[in-house]
Structure 1
Amino acid sequence: MNAHNWIDLSQDRSTGIETLRAHFKGHAYDPHWHDSYLVGFTEQGVQQFHCRRQKHASTPGQIFLLEPGDIHDGDAPTEEGFTYRMLYLEPHWIERELSQLFEDAPAQQVLAFAQNLTRDPRLSQAIADAFAALHSQELLIVRQSALDRLLEQLTGHLHWRKRHNPDPRLPLVALRARDYLQANVHQDVGLDELAQACNVDRFRLTRAFKAAFGLPPHAYLVQLRLAKARRQLANGDFPAQVASDLGFADQSHLGRWFVRAYGISPAAYRKRCSNLPD
């Protein structure tokens, strides 16, 4: 991270929700995805990112909404850079909480965002209030009240989607490859092995996978490992152990990928989210 960029990150222990306020100039982070719902807004400048095959430019007051698995990047197209606030909402938490609001929520469904970028002053204020309550570790009742207001405003931007009905536009070979990588995330999987598991040649495999998921297989595997690395670091595991557990060559190898994706080092992330000594 250069001298012009900074990140202020914290985690609420009772919900697991991470709160992040950050500023970037120039390139912010490479294409990556999270296993959380991302809800935030741009404070200052222009926040440019690609998601769902579209290029977005978020300006002050605009809200960005990303689902788990939404591949996105980030950069500042203007000299002044951009500042933003964001909440990482855990899927199990948001589904549990919303089920209390929707008693008739259909079974075997997941929550989805209709669009990645929107304007909604009430939702923007609710995000800001929830961020302030969590980030400053307010009283439990204050944090819970702020989150209830956030969910109340967020429901207008959510819709239900079938859980076990994959997009028919995704080639079967890409779905097979994805499932294989998820099942073997700790292994040193090569393209030959992956192509053999999918009964195709390497060229067809890579082309189908990138068309379906926006990343080639090797980059997708790295993202799977980085998502698990975040979990382990937040639980207090040391970067060297995490790197060894997840198949990175060493701690430096993990660190390079982690910074490119999240703009923060594994050690700094662990310190801010685990509340454990180094």
Structure 2
Amino acid sequence: MNTTSWIDLNKDAQSGIETLRAHFKGHAYDPHWHDSYLVGFTEQGVQRFSCRRERHCSTPGTVFLLEPGEIHDGDAPSEEGFTYQMLYIEQHWLDKALGGLFENAPTDAQLSFARTLSHDPLLAQAIAQAFRSLHDGEMRMVNQAALDNLLTELTRQLHWRSRPLLDPRLPLVAHRARDFMHAHGTQDIGLDDLAKVTGVDRFRLTRAFKQAYGLSPHAYLVQWRLAQARQRLAAGEQPADVAMALGFADQSHLGRWFQRAYRLTPADYRKRCSNLPD
């Protein structure tokens, strides 16, 4: 491998999905195949590879989709090389995830990609969100929401997705989900827990919640935790204790979300909270 090439690989313990971000110059890899689905996009440069007896060139923002067993190689035709992000998704996880996300998903629903390359900004964005969430080890509900969004985009064109979603349970779903999050918001709850409590699949759950509150369930849970964090910090609690009490992985995890929302670190807020409007 070229000395200027690099690989950053991680694996999500919950889903088993591997996340890979890599940069290559010149020759990247010889022909090979994987027993998982490969879903990714080119971040920078031109990524050239052979698959399905065709030569492909993937440019920034282009999505590439490979099914298990498809042989492919890779190289960089330009001097600058290329950078890409990739998710390795196992079939057994996919079967279970689709069944939980969509009640009307056939039991034998397998993904089949008509094209190796796709110029789909929504799908590229969904891949990027899922990559960041899994690679950074986000909370369970955030990871599930990102993966659900990815599966929603990947299956958007499948015929069974076009069936109507009339469901008399939906008006109460959002309220039950919100009440459950208020009662268990400091625990590592997931969208599957909310789906079980409300009696609908995760797709209907998320749609009903967004319609009722203008936020997805995972975004609502994060905002609820941050509101609790503000109260605790204002009362003088230490950021590390607040993070532990509210279910964040650690103080830095709390800090990332806190700065996104308020442009302040938890420690800064604790010092200056008396001068900030609540």
TM category (shorter chain) comes to: 0.5 to 0.7
CA deviation digits over 1:7-41, x for unaligned, max 9?
A: 00000011100000000001000000001100000
Counterpart residue type for residue 78 of structure 2: T
Contact preservation (8 Å) 1:112, 1:159: no
- What are the within-5 Å matches in structure 2 for residues 145-164 of structure 1? 145-156=145-156
Per the TM alignment, residue 109 of structure 1 is displaced from its structure 2 partner at its CA by: 5.3
Return the alpha-carbon distance in structure 2 between the equivalents of residues 30 and 4 of structure 1. Answer: 18
Contact preservation (8 Å) 1:58, 1:64: yes
The verdict on how the C-alpha distance between 1:18 and 1:104 changes in structure 2, with shifts beyond 3 A counting, is same
Return the alpha-carbon distance in structure 2 between the equivalents of residues 127 and 139 of structure 1. Answer: 17
Q: Which residue is 1:190 aligned to?
A: none
The verdict on how the C-alpha distance between 1:11 and 1:158 changes in structure 2, with shifts beyond 3 A counting, is farther
Counterpart residue type for residue 92 of structure 2: H
Percentage of pairs with the same residue: 67
The verdict on how the C-alpha distance between 1:139 and 1:58 changes in structure 2, with shifts beyond 3 A counting, is same
CA deviation digits over 1:71-94, x for unaligned, max 9?
A: 100000111100000000111111
- What are the within-5 Å matches in structure 2 for residues 245-264 of structure 1? none
Task: Name the TM-score, length of structure 2 as normaliser.
Answer: 0.55
Return the alpha-carbon distance in structure 1 between the equivalents of residues 141 and 100 of structure 2. Answer: 17
Return the alpha-carbon distance in structure 1 between the equivalents of residues 68 and 81 of structure 2. Answer: 26
Return the alpha-carbon distance in structure 2 between the equivalents of residues 62 and 74 of structure 1. Answer: 15
Return the alpha-carbon distance in structure 2 between the equivalents of residues 93 and 155 of structure 1. Answer: 15
Per the TM alignment, residue 107 of structure 1 is displaced from its structure 2 partner at its CA by: 4.9
Return the alpha-carbon distance in structure 2 between the equivalents of residues 137 and 158 of structure 1. Answer: 30
Greater Rg by CA:
2
Q: Which residue is 1:121 aligned to?
A: 121
Find the residue that maps to 1:21 and give its secondary structure: strand
Find the residue that maps to 2:155 and give its secondary structure: helix
Contact preservation (8 Å) 2:39, 2:87: yes
- What are the within-5 Å matches in structure 2 for residues 57-206 of structure 1? 57-108=57-108, 110-156=110-156
Per the TM alignment, residue 101 of structure 1 is displaced from its structure 2 partner at its CA by: 3.7
Return the alpha-carbon distance in structure 1 between the equivalents of residues 101 and 41 of structure 2. Answer: 24
Counterpart residue type for residue 22 of structure 2: A
Per the TM alignment, residue 64 of structure 1 is displaced from its structure 2 partner at its CA by: 0.2
The verdict on how the C-alpha distance between 1:107 and 1:147 changes in structure 2, with shifts beyond 3 A counting, is closer
Contact preservation (8 Å) 1:42, 1:62: yes
Contact preservation (8 Å) 2:101, 2:148: no
Task: Name the TM-score, length of structure 1 as normaliser.
Answer: 0.55
The verdict on how the C-alpha distance between 1:108 and 1:73 changes in structure 2, with shifts beyond 3 A counting, is same
Find the residue that maps to 1:113 and give its secondary structure: coil
The verdict on how the C-alpha distance between 1:127 and 1:157 changes in structure 2, with shifts beyond 3 A counting, is farther
Counterpart residue type for residue 148 of structure 2: D
Find the residue that maps to 1:83 and give its secondary structure: strand
CA deviation digits over 1:176-212, x for unaligned, max 9?
A: xxxxxxxxxxxxxxxxxxxxxxxxxxxxxxxxxxxxx
Contact preservation (8 Å) 1:6, 1:24: yes
The verdict on how the C-alpha distance between 1:157 and 1:56 changes in structure 2, with shifts beyond 3 A counting, is farther
Return the alpha-carbon distance in structure 2 between the equivalents of residues 98 and 113 of structure 1. Answer: 16
Per the TM alignment, residue 141 of structure 1 is displaced from its structure 2 partner at its CA by: 1.2
Return the alpha-carbon distance in structure 2 between the equivalents of residues 133 and 102 of structure 1. Answer: 22
- Structure 2's unaligned 5+ residue stretches are 161-278
* Pairwise CA RMSD: 1.7
Per the TM alignment, residue 95 of structure 1 is displaced from its structure 2 partner at its CA by: 1.6
- What are the within-5 Å matches in structure 2 for residues 51-62 of structure 1? 51-62=51-62
Q: Which residue is 1:163 aligned to?
A: none
Return the alpha-carbon distance in structure 2 between the equivalents of residues 138 and 108 of structure 1. Answer: 30
Q: Which is further off, 139-148 or 98-107?
A: 98-107
Q: Which residue is 2:49 aligned to?
A: 49
Counterpart residue type for residue 146 of structure 1: A
Counterpart residue type for residue 15 of structure 2: T
Return the alpha-carbon distance in structure 1 between the equivalents of residues 72 and 42 of structure 2. Answer: 15
Find the residue that maps to 1:128 and give its secondary structure: helix
Return the alpha-carbon distance in structure 1 between the equivalents of residues 159 and 75 of structure 2. Answer: 29
